[in-house]
A and B are shown apart, each in its own frame.
Chain A
Amino acid sequence: MKDTPLSNCERQFLLKAVEEKKRVDGRQTYDYRNIKITFGTEYGCCIVDLGKTRILAQVSCELVPPKDSRPTEGILFFNLELSPMASPAFELGRQSELLVKLNRQLERCLRNSKCIDTESLCVISGEKVWQIRVDVHVLNHDGNLMDAASIAAIAALSHFRRPEVAIQGRDITVFTPEERDPIPLSIYHMPICVSFAFFQQGTYLLVDPCEREERVMDGLLVIAMNKHREICSIQSSGGIMLLKEQVLRCSKIASVKVSEITELINKALDNDKRARKEGGKFGFAESMPKERITALKKDEAPVEMTDVQDTANEIISRTEAQPDIVKVPSPVVPAPGTGQVGEGLLNTWGLEEEEDEEEEQHEKEEMSTGEVMVLSDSEEDDVVILNPDANKPKRLEGGSKKGVEAPKKQKTSH
């Protein structure tokens, strides 16, 4: 499916609005859209709404052997996917430029900045380490995927708890969440990306472009920072010409925004922690807004069961009259995962051969004129030669080892 192309008048309108320092949704040039962060019931699952852009992040962990070059460090793996739900232009399985760019930027922002202590993920040096996998799914594309993805990833990583392990010599015991409380990852700092869109060869810039603004922009500058005013990564894209002063100005704006967003994430994490501790309800089900008219929630309801038994019996009795069914021995389950039909029966595989032969005989008698037909020269095939006076077709010696004399049919003793 293709995305609707942008008309020239819409493009001119947006550019003119940017020149007059106005935005289509009424924001100021340096304003972010509303950010909403919700966590799920299981640890490490988080949905971030940046305006209308929606992104889901899920963190999972696994014990794997470490990389040869770094035997004492755990592995971080990031995977961002553009779901076809997010935009009609995203197709499944297509490696587009945008996907590569977002993936690389996410990796650089989170892995190269060393925000997670990978040494603490080591269980047995050189043999088993934790591999933390972050899957980010883009659910709705309304601009600025990079920022939302980085917020979702770092919030999910902060929310995640990995199972506790006990090491005794070479044995590793992994405890389930019920046995021992899982432990959180050790996160040094939270790098968050801030995107700046440039227009008219770098004269105007906007923070947090929405999808329409992204389509008309000249280029994008992404700065990842944490709240300690440390820059974790800078990346310019789109072929714009920047001046050094512009980059410095953007970094100053970014530091202000990042501290606001970090506070938001921490607040959301605290709320979730509190809800879990107090035993209140948490998760996505709870965070569904009830006051909207597009949402409706219904409580637990018992199902009316009064005539079920009767209806069932009635249906069965209607279909009970069956012609004699071939009795097949019922399967026996000697152990979970195995099945067995019958016990100590004779091998009746030859049976099928004879049936096939008889069918073939019927077919070929209709076709043949009594001559010998060699169907193929290949030695591998079983070639059937029909003799006009024999009832049973003889089989030529072929490559296969089927029995020449088919055993007679035997009645099963059940």
Chain B
Amino acid sequence: MEVELCPILRSFGSEQNVLSRPDGSASFVQGDTSVLAGVYGPAEVKVSKEIYDRATLEVVIQPKVGLPSVRERAREQCIRETCEAALLSTLHPRSSLTLILQVVHDDGSLLACYLNAACMALIDAGLPMSSLFCGITCAINTEGQIITDPSVQQEKESRALLTFAIDSVERKVMMSSTKGSFSVKELQQCIAVSQKASEEIFQFYRDSVKRRYSKIM
């Protein structure tokens, strides 16, 4: 299948230290999709949930309307596993880390936005991590074109939707969540596209942190 590749990432932005109460907080905006993340930790953990040699990570996703449903639980699972792979949780045994994500506006590629906001909030909280991670969503539309960072309209018209979490050290895939049908070749192409796109996002992370501490350094 011939694939014409002209994907773009929508304009994105983020603000750190948005909220005063959480230890770390960040808001991440991709196009019109906007997510707010807050991190508390390392803090006291309930005895029933404590793990003797590492920190207990809890992820909470709050939808805008109504009570959280199974979809939110599934996404919480994806994000928790990504974070646990990246965080050095053995440095804080018997503690709790709580990550809370609130969707402010959903205009496509929501899971990727959650991941990016989560990473920025963890950076803002100063939690030790072995690598940074970012989320990229690819959509394959009916003609076989790969679109990165799709909007809600593009997501509806696509035949497959793939989200990958890419780590910053070796550009490996930490987590993947897909919907729809696609061939193995398309999967590999999407992974390669995501890896390329992740470079942009990691550069953005570096720039924003550099900018934040520019007055000090």
Contact = CB atoms under 8 A, between A and B. Distances in A.
User: Within the complex, are A and B direct neighbours (CB within 8 Å)?
Assistant: yes
Interface of A: 1-2, 40-42, 45, 47, 52, 54, 56, 58, 60, 81, 83-88, 92, 133, 135, 137, 139-142, 283-285, 288-289, 292-305, 307-309, 311-313, 315-316
B76 to A, nearest CB: 11
B47 interface: no
B179 interface: no
Contacts of B85: none
Contact of B14 (A1, A283, A295, A300): A295
Nearest to A299: B11
A139 B19 contact: yes
Closest 3 CB pairs of A and B: A297-B13, A85-B38, A295-B15
Nearest to A92: B60
B184 to A, nearest CB: 6
Nearest to A59: B65
A81 B17 CA distance: 22
A41 B14 CA distance: 17
B3 A298 contact: no
B185 A301 contact: no
B215 interface: yes
Interface of B is mostly: mixed
A293 B211 contact: yes
B192 A295 contact: no
Given A54-B19, A284-B105, A309-B3, A296 B62 contact: no
A115 B210 CA distance: 49
Given A141-B21, A288-B13, A316 B8 contact: no
B202 interface: no
Contacts of A142: 20-21
Given A284-B29, A284-B104, A1 B43 contact: yes
Contacts of A301: 8-9, 200
A13 B211 CA distance: 37
A92 to B, nearest CB: 6
Given A2-B44, A83-B102, A296-B13, A285 B36 contact: no
A97 to B, nearest CB: 20
| Contact-residue size bin, chain B (C-beta under 8 Å from the other chain) | 35 or more
Contacts of A42: 105
Contact of A308 (B20, B60, B98, B192): B192
Interface of B: 3, 5-22, 25, 27, 29, 31-32, 34, 36, 38, 40, 43-44, 60, 62, 64-66, 96, 98, 100, 102, 104-105, 107, 148, 184-185, 188-189, 191-193, 196-197, 199-200, 204, 207-208, 211-212, 214-215
B192 A88 contact: no
Contacts of B211: 293, 296
Contacts of B100: 83-85
Contacts of B22: 85, 140
Given A41-B105, A296-B211, A140 B10 contact: no
A87 B21 contact: yes
Given A305-B6, A305-B7, A83 B15 contact: no
B211 to A, nearest CB: 5
Contacts of B14: 295-296
Nearest to B197: A303
Given A85-B38, A293-B211, 14 more contacts: A2-B44, A83-B62, A83-B100, A85-B62, A86-B21, A135-B64, A139-B19, A283-B105, A284-B104, A292-B15, A294-B15, A296-B13, A297-B11, A299-B11
Given A1-B40, A285-B31, A309-B3, A140 B64 contact: no
Contacts of B208: 295-296
5 contacts: A58-B65, A83-B102, A85-B19, A285-B11, A295-B14
B64 A303 contact: no
Contacts of A303: 7-9, 148, 193, 196-197, 200
Given A86-B21, A288-B13, A295-B15, A137 B62 contact: yes
B173 to A, nearest CB: 12
Given A140-B19, A141-B21, A312 B185 contact: yes
Contacts of B204: 296, 298
Nearest to B12: A298
B8 A302 contact: yes
B105 A140 contact: no
Contacts of A135: 64-66
A287 to B, nearest CB: 10
Nearest to B121: A85
A140 B100 CA distance: 12
Contacts of A52: 19-20
Nearest to A296: B208
A41 B107 contact: yes
Contacts of A302: 6-9
B21 A88 contact: yes
B199 to A, nearest CB: 8
Contact of B60 (A84, A141, A299): A84
Nearest to A42: B105
B32 A41 contact: yes
Contact of A315 (B29, B64, B188): B188
A1 B212 contact: no
